[in-house]
Amino acid sequence: MKISIIGYGSMAKAILQGMKNGKWKMENVEIVGRNEEKMENLSNELGCKYAFIDGYDISGKIIILAVKPYALQEVSMRIKGEADILISILAGKSLIELEKRIKAKAYIRAMPNVGAKYSASTTAVTGDETAKEAAYEILGKIGEVVWVNSDDEIDMATAVIGSGPAFLAIIAEAISDGGVYTGLKRDVSEELTRGLFKSFSSLKENFSEIKNSVMSPKGTTAEGIYTLEKNSVRGKIMESIIKTYEKSKNI
């Protein structure tokens, strides 16, 4: 299966690195763009080919569109032909808009996250059922894949999956800073915080069960939970997800 990825920004790099980590045959991958130096560097690093975007023929190819959302129109004017499958990771760009801009036999919208470079992304996917198997095969190389039922659900997933690592980074930083405040050395506090997130990700119980299993009557955790709730931390996190979703609808 040959794949062309249009773009070489941070998410494009993350996807390429994840595909390599996932043992994809990188000689069957082609980077497409304008900046030869950037493409050549990635080509040398990852063992894939590259091509210039002006006049690039997408006919008969699987295309991963990994540019900034505002660049969709410009990309559509530089390429030609009809792709077999177009997989777009552009936030806020609906399937209908993609169909208007770029010709393809099947369309997929996907929302991965930066964990892709470690093959640890959770990627939300929707689009044509005929391309579902191919999307799972490709995106499964960069982590877990979750099929959702509509464009709107992809926009919702953008707030949770796409932007979520930035929100969690702030929370992790705050936890680590709290550890330093109490007296831990910075490197020890950061190591403990990373371990915390790793441990948490392995738990299978629902979130309330996890909280309740740790929060004993008049205990230390109960004191911390009270402080979080008194300062409306839960509501602020929920609000950040809602605002991110609303923004994704208006890019």
Kindly compute the dihedral angle of the four CA atoms of residues 251, 123, 79, 60, in this order, to the nearest 10 degrees.
Answer: -150
168 and 140 together in one domain = no
195 and 79 together in one domain = no
What is the number of domains present in the chain?
Answer: 2
Residue 214 lies in a domain: yes
Phi, psi of 30 (to 5 degrees): -125, 130
Q: What global pTM score does this model have? A: 0.88
Q: What is the pLDDT of residue 117?
A: 87
Q: What is the pLDDT of residue 249?
A: 82
Residue 198 lies in a domain: yes
CATH number reported for the structural domain that contains residue 40 in this entry: 3.40.50.720
Quick: pLDDT tens for 101-122: 999 999 999 999 989 989 899 9
Residue 153 lies in a domain: no
Q: Closest Cα to residue 43, out of 55, 56, 27?
A: 27
Domain extent for 194: 164-248
Q: Closest Cα to residue 18, out of 108, 162, 139, 111?
A: 139
Q: How confident is the model at residue 238 (pLDDT cuts 50, 70, 90)?
A: very high
